[in-house]
Amino acid sequence: MHRRVLRYLAILIVTGFCATTAQALRPKDGRDTITEGHRIYDRACVWCHGTEGKGDGPSGWSIGRYAAPRPRDFTAESYKLRSTPSGELPTDQDLFRTITQGIPGFMPSYRSLNEQERWQVIAYLKSLNPAFEQEQPTPMVLPSPPLFPSGNGITNGRALYAKYECRTCHGDNGAGDGPESKAGHLRDAYNLPITATDLTDPSSFKNGATPHDLYRSIMTGLDGTPMPAYADQFAGQEEAAWDLVWYLQSLSGQPGR
């Protein structure tokens, strides 16, 4: 347990340092920044996301016409991976996190780009959607997780998993084999078939597999997919939400990591 606490504190320190460093290296938004971001986009992103950012690149379209998820259409407003309430645009930090971490199984990490280059790409991506000029996305308050589950945390989380009928999509044991998923009833915003995440395999979590990542996904949902936001259900019940997180992690044998 002592080792787990030290590991968690180290993650907080490193994460905070990286976020501060990334912000310090962020160039000022402007035409030069967008132009440079466009140049990097054409080199690194256009093959999947298309020349106009509509998710219709030659590689992405050949994959995306038949199965979800299709590459992001940057001209549209529905974003899955956010820290903002359902229906809102992502923050700049959300975009930076996605570009940095990638999306397991679908989009590679772009840590090969330095922080300044990633911010330049983000400036260009935002220029493709006028909504970013009209709206200042505000992240939800997402508290840091407890150091470890409470005595009944996982048991309580299992009860919440049943209460909110997570098994309907994710299955009784979280393997992504719930009746809706097995029957092929799950569809994304493009009406393409989509499967529920296998919660027993952390590498399949598109929005990250840490406790904080899971809490964020539960609260904000994944817009454009059947996964709804549960912020209203857990309003004022943060401890219960963490219990659900611990249970989800226990399905892959790693509660509290």
Q: Give the predicted TM-score (pTM) of the model.
A: 0.85
What is the mean predicted confidence (pLDDT) over 36-40? 98
- Model confidence band, residue 25 (pLDDT cutoffs 50, 70, 90): low
Q: pLDDT grade, residue 5 (50/70/90)?
A: very low
Nearest to 69 by CA among 168, 166, 197, 251: 197
Give the model confidence (pLDDT) of 82-114 as tens digits.
999 999 999 999 999 999 999 988 899 999 999
Res 2: pLDDT = 44
pLDDT tens, position by position, 175-201: 999 999 999 999 998 888 999 999 999
Percent of the chain clearing pLDDT 70 (strictly above):
86
Residue 135 confidence (pLDDT)? 83
All structural domains of the chain: 25-134 (1.10.760.10), 153-250 (1.10.760.10)
The one-character DSSP state at 27 is P
First to last CA, the chain: 11
The helix (run of H) or strand (run of E) holding residue 22 is helix 2-24
Read off the tokens for 229: 């936001």
Amino acid at residue number 22:
A
d(CA 214, CA 160): 15
In the prediction, which pLDDT does 68 show?
Answer: 65
Angstrom distance (rounded) from CA 197 to CA 177? 9
Residue 130 pLDDT more than 50?
Answer: yes
